[in-house]
Chains A and B, each alone.
Chain A
Amino acid sequence: MKPPRALWVPFEFGRPLGPPNNAPLQRKVLLAALNLLEAPGGPLLEDFPEDAPESPNRNMAPIPPAAFSRNFISSIKAVQMPEALRNEIAAMRPWYDTAVAQRKRTTVGVSDIAPDAIADFIHSFIKGEHPENPRKGLPIIYSLKFAIEDLKAYYFEGITFQAGQEEVSSKALENWFWDETIAGKVIFDLKKILQTDPDKLTGMFGSYFIVPGEIARRKGSL
């Protein structure tokens, strides 16, 4: 492509400035890019020489009051799943509220559905119903996608505020969500339903936009 000035960085997708809450590294990346403005000629493609510090892949802390575990999740019958998800979302609430109060921000809100209403919204699709679309003018499958991302943000913003979890890696967070939470199981089950939907757009969302490809491959649904 040869753009006039480009800085290659080693960080994962979604983090062009590197890991969160590392202002010194962000500043270095930014200055490395901006200093290319003063280069006398190009095109330039420079490599940023520093990797992100390793994030601790420590085990995620348990979330009171529910005892989250794969055995517990696998013991839940389908008919109990909506209530189990509502309970799990309620159990995350203190951590989410604390995180929002301390960080003074939240990224939840794209779907326009309150977190405690997302469980019922998702289960409507599992039951084959069509709930009211909170985002008028947007196909409802987008609202479902954004509700799922809102729910994940609600969990991640909360769990990363528990003691010792602030620096946990994106990989550990992803594995925790998809393997250790009821929300992860419900969304994965939903993906399997959506990806066979005869509606082209719904099928595409189910196949590609609901569960990360790596997780779908690992769990044998891609």
Chain B
Amino acid sequence: MRLEKISEAERKILMSFKCPEFETHPWATGPSLNKRRISVITTAGLHGRDDRPFQMDPKDFYRTIPGNVQANDLIMSHLAASFDRTGFQRDWNVVFPLDRLRELQVEKTIGGLADYHYSFNSAHEPAEFKEAASQVADLLEKDGVNAVLLLPA
């Protein structure tokens, strides 16, 4: 997002958000891109059509999205009013680029795609996610994932 393209009022709101600071900055290397098994983590409020919509519930952290998901399976229950949904309504790849990733998998640019992807509830402060994030990290490891594509929306 370019701050100069939004109104002053919106800009002030965005600039007022505090970014967390961390004492350490972990760094890990791994195999080349064509050997990476990738999982997607989105904060666009996506979930399955029959799944529960997201709430501002202190214990509601994430939904799972199976790797064989199709575009019509996903709907969006993001609560923000100032959040463009008209892109997703025309093309799910603007927030969840699974068609593009599947193309990269077929042409062997990436090693593969995970059995599960994840959708995190954006209605929490970052520190509140610690336990849920640790749980998902374990699940990713069991899934053989060695690269995660985090897509904030």
Contact = CB atoms under 8 A, between A and B. Distances in A.
Interface stretch (A34-42, A68-76, A82-90, A118-126): A34-42
Contacts of B5: 12
Interface string B134-153: 00000000000001011111
Interface string A184-219: 000000000000000000000000111111100100
A192 B82 CA distance: 17
Most buried by A among B20, B99, B100, B147: B100
Contact of A166 (B90, B94, B149): B90
A37 B27 CA distance: 11
B108 to A, nearest CB: 13
B33 A37 contact: yes
A106 interface: yes
Nearest to B46: A107
Contacts of B77: 110, 146, 149
In this complex, the interface size class of chain B, counting residues with CB under 8 Å from chain A, is 35 or more
Contacts of B30: 37
B76 A214 contact: no
B124 interface: no
Contacts of B104: 27, 30-31, 34
A16 to B, nearest CB: 5
Main secondary structure of the interface of B (DSSP, over half): loop
B27 A14 contact: no
B55 interface: yes
Contact of A20 (B10, B83, B94): B94
A170 B87 contact: yes
B101 interface: yes
Contacts of A162: none
Interface string B76-107: 11011111111111111111010111011000
B40 to A, nearest CB: 10
B85 A210 contact: no
Most buried by A among B81, B92, B94: B81
A1 interface: yes
Interface string A115-148: 0000000000000000000010111001001100
B25 A18 contact: no
Interface string B105-140: 000011000000000000000000000000000000
Contact of A16 (B13, B53, B72, B152): B152
B111 to A, nearest CB: 11
Most buried by A among B9, B32, B53, B151: B53
Given A16-B151, A26-B97, A27-B100, A173 B27 contact: no
Contacts of A61: none
B53 A13 contact: no
10 contacts: A12-B5, A14-B153, A19-B94, A23-B93, A27-B100, A38-B33, A105-B71, A135-B53, A212-B82, A213-B81
Interface of A: 1-4, 9-21, 23, 26-27, 30-31, 33-35, 37-38, 40-43, 103-110, 135, 137-139, 142, 145-146, 149, 152-153, 156-157, 160, 166, 170, 173-174, 208-214, 217
Given A4-B25, A107-B88, 11 more contacts: A1-B21, A15-B94, A20-B91, A26-B94, A26-B97, A40-B29, A43-B27, A107-B76, A110-B76, A149-B85, A217-B9
Q: What 7 pairs across the A-B complex have the smallest Cβ distances?
A: A14-B84, A20-B91, A105-B72, A20-B90, A15-B87, A212-B82, A170-B84
